[in-house]
Structure 1
Amino acid sequence: MRLLTVVCFTILIGFGLTVDHAQAKAKHLFKIASLAPDGSIWVTKFEDFTKEVSEKTGGEVGFRVYPGGVMGDDMAMYRKMRVGQLQGGGFTMTGMASVVPDFTVMSVPFLFNSYAETDAVRTSLMPDFREEFEKKGLELIAMTEVGFIYTMSTKPITTVSELQQSTSWIPSGDPLASAFLNSLDITPVQLTIPDVLSSLQTGLIDTVYNSLYGSIVLQWFTKARYVTDAPFAYAYGCFLLDKKKFDKLPKEYQDIIQESADRHFSDLIDATRKSNSDSRSVMSSRGVKFVEVEPETLQSLKNQHNLIIDQLKDNSFSDRIYQKTLKVLSDYRANQ
């Protein structure tokens, strides 16, 4: 058994070195960064994608992945792409708000009622998003998903008054979340995602917003142990490559990347939704309490959606992309 263990371990180590060596020797190497923690489904599924691309291109296209925010937040990653230190990344929609404002349209609070609706809108808007990213020298390879977002706090929150008395966090540079909370007379604390857990631990903030699975992988649930059981927004992201470097690839390799991405990132969205579903029981087993929101509170929050739209249009995203989003939603709902 000892000998078998040593042999297996040696094979695994050898395989890992072979993969790393192959990636390092790739003719076309893309250095990719992400805020997603190592070991999360976002990183493991992305690694499946990179292995397939490497195999199908005979090792000529490789990816070196830097997960867990080691290259900084979204804007730091984007700046590194601009100067050639990175050639791609996994970005949140918040991180891209100042680069491609229209990309944030799907995160309007209380816009969607189901994942089926998000799928319909995402499919319809992809050509628009791709065109806008191209103008910024970026190739939109795929969209990713965080999921529906919940309010999570160190104490129960079931009313607007309780939310106003808490200290809310929002991601730095998020115009939609800022406008929505400001409309409720709440001035949130803006922090980068890597700073949230320590800020919860020190008491700088006590209320955060995330998907159920996101709260687990980032360990926020260890401090924000009350979840207001009413999702209010949808969060997502994207996988981008530097367009100049992508365009230098042979057309065959471009097609391999896109075809592999279409398959693996579709699987990733399915896996993310399953993880969010499974996370409810995991969190409950770890002592997290899901609290019901009062109906009048929920209606009051939904009313804010209409109040802030005029403020958001043309400031956070264009009226054109918003109207197209509404049309897709209306058509989809009419056919259900």
Structure 2
Amino acid sequence: MKKAIIVIGLIAVLCFSVSAGGKGEPKEGEPSYMLRFGHVQTEKEEYHKAYIRWAEAVKERTNGDFVIEVYPNAQLGVEEDILEQMRKGSNVGWQTDPARLGDYVEEFSVLYGAYLLSGYDDFEGLLGSPTINSWSKKLEDEFGIKVLSYAYAQGFRNVMANVQARSPRELRGVRIRTAPAPAWLATVNSLGATATGLPYGELYNGIQTGVVDGAELPVSAARALSVEEVADYLIETRHIYQMNVLVASAEWFNSLPKEYQDILLEEADKAGLEATQALEAKAGTDMQYLLDNGMTLIPWEELDSEAFIKSGQQSYEELGVVEAKEAIYKELGK
């Protein structure tokens, strides 16, 4: 079934790459440009709502001549395949993350190293970062992937599991679901856990069936996925302040009129910052919802935070991004 879904998604991508935004001429009344934008989250999540606002704003500002179609729940297929379609010039976009981009430009992985960012202020301080912009240029020039926006933060990721733990030692041997990318795996392993790569859509079933003992994710995502139904403890590790990245084909992007390029980027940033601020504002409410519905909180203050932070530094060494971490810290004044 999975293979069939992937094939269907790729066929759809290929078909649309020769329609609006591709090589063909639009029919009368149709938009001249189209972006098929996908992500793995559900329709209930704040990011999906942001992408709908982005699409509406772009359509309005171009008088319907540029349309973004938004596909949640990984409907376009597997992320790795979508990224490769971008490199070939298809008119597809995707919500990805620095860990995935680290497969192309190694330095991106540092942004998901353990305890790199202390919160929203650090995230905001990196918007427009010369260091990160240099990585973006390399990604575009050498791999054909264009960054549309970095303005999407999802808050702290925490461990949610069916075991109690207050230190890396107590997490030893605990199988924690994370995304199947080297940076994710390295960071979760550095916390003492046993990182297990599973697709986002398999997170709930993975915990429910015992394939994993828990997962690590922001409270907003945990609420949207009903993680409180399958995990007993919310361990407030705060190990990653999650940044997400919107990307598209550089070849496709460069085929757009300059005015449309600017509109696409401006509205992506605007929608992202609105979503980020909304998630920050309701993080406490989302956490309380999880607790009210059966989870037990083990707060940051009860953890051996020094041990977690020290242990987490292994992730930078394993990924070979110690120098990149120092460059980011220098920009943040740390």
TM range, smaller chain: 0.7 to 0.9
Q: Does 2:48 align with 1:40?
A: no
Give the superposition deviation at 1:183: 4.7
Q: What CA distance in whole angstroms lies between the structure 2 residues aligned with 1:295 and 1:266?
A: 32
Instruction: Report the secondary structure of 1:203's partner residue.
Output: coil
Q: CA deviation at 1:287?
A: 1.8
Q: Tell me, in whole angstroms, the C-alpha distance in 2 between the residues paired with 1:70 and 1:145.
A: 22
Measured against aligned partners, the alpha-carbon deviations of 1:198-230 in whole angstroms (never above 9, x if no partner) come to 111111101210011011112223212311123
Cα deviation 1:60-98 (Å, max 9, x = unaligned): 111111111122342132134345565211113333231
Amino acid paired to 1:151: V
Contact 2:219 / 2:286 at 8 angstroms: preserved in 1? yes
Give, in whole Å, the separation in 2 of the partners of 1:36 and 1:181. Answer: 21
Distance 1:307 1:243, change over 3 A: closer
Residue 141 in structure 1 maps to residue 144 in structure 2:
no
Could you give the per-residue CA deviations for residues 174-195 of structure 1, whole angstroms, max 9, x where no partner exists? x234334545664422212122
**Aligned pair 1:276/2:283, yes or no?**
yes
Give the alignment's Cα RMSD to 1 decimal.
Answer: 2.4
How far residue 131 of structure 1 moved from its aligned partner, in angstroms, is 0.9
CA contact (8 A) 2:45 2:220 kept: no
User: 116, 128, 131: which is aligned to 2:134?
Assistant: 128
- Gaps (5+ residues) in structure 2? 1-26
Q: Which residue in the other structure is 1:52 paired with? A: 57
Choose which of 304, 315, 332 in structure 1 pairs with 2:311.
Answer: 304
Query: Structure 2 counterpart of 1:131, which letter?
Result: K
Mapped to 1, the partners of 2:92 and 2:303 lie a distance apart of 48
Amino acid at match of 1:170: T
| Structure 1 residue runs without a partner (length 5+) | 1-21
* Rounded Cα–Cα distance in structure 1 between residues aligned with 2:254 and 2:325: 30
Letter in structure 2 aligned against 1:247: N
Secondary structure of the residue aligned to 2:245 is strand
Aligned in 2, Cα 1:38/1:80: closer, same or farther, shift over 3 Å? Answer: farther
Q: 1:249 corresponds to which letter in structure 2?
A: L
Q: How many residues are paired up?
A: 304
In terms of Rg, which structure is larger?
A: 1
Structure 1 contact 153–207 (Cα < 8 Å) conserved: yes
Rounded Cα–Cα distance in structure 2 between residues aligned with 1:184 and 1:266: 30
Inter-partner Cα distance in structure 2 for 1:185 and 1:323: 24
**Equivalents in 2 of 1:186, 1:88: separation in Å?**
33
2:334 pairs with 1:326: no
Partners of 1:200 and 1:206 within 8 A in 2: yes
Counting only pairs closer than 5 Å after superposition, residues 49-198 of structure 1 correspond to structure 2 as 49-83=54-88, 86-124=91-129, 125-135=131-141, 136-143=143-150, 144-173=152-181, 175-183=182-190, 186-198=193-205
Is the alpha carbon distance of 1:75 and 1:215 closer, same or farther for their aligned partners in structure 2, counting shifts above 3 Å? same
Alpha-carbon separation, structure 2, partners of 1:99 and 1:169: 23
- In structure 2, do the counterparts of structure 1 residues 310 and 318 end up closer, same or farther at CA, with 3 Å as the change threshold? closer
Deviation at 1:37, TM superposition (A): 1.1
Structure-2 separation of matches of 1:293 and 1:147: 15
Secondary structure of the corresponding residue to residue 215 of structure 2: strand
Letter in 2 for 1:269: T
Corresponding residue of 1:12: none
Given the two structures, how large is their TM-score scaled by the length of structure 2? 0.82
Q: Deviations over 1:140-172 (max 9, x none)?
A: 111222221111102322233331142222211
The CA deviation string for residues 3-53 of structure 1, in whole angstroms up to 9 with x for no partner, is xxxxxxxxxxxxxxxxxxx9x921101111111211321111111111111
1:243-262 matched pairs, under 5 angstroms:
243-262=250-269
What TM-score does the superposition give when structure 1 sets the normalisation length?
0.82
The answer to whether the 8 Å contact 2:140/2:250 transfers is yes
| Distance (Å, rounded) in 1 between the aligned partners of 2:296 and 2:57 | 41
Q: Per the alignment, do residues 305 and 134 of structure 1 end up closer, same or farther by CA in structure 2, a change over 3 Å counting? A: same
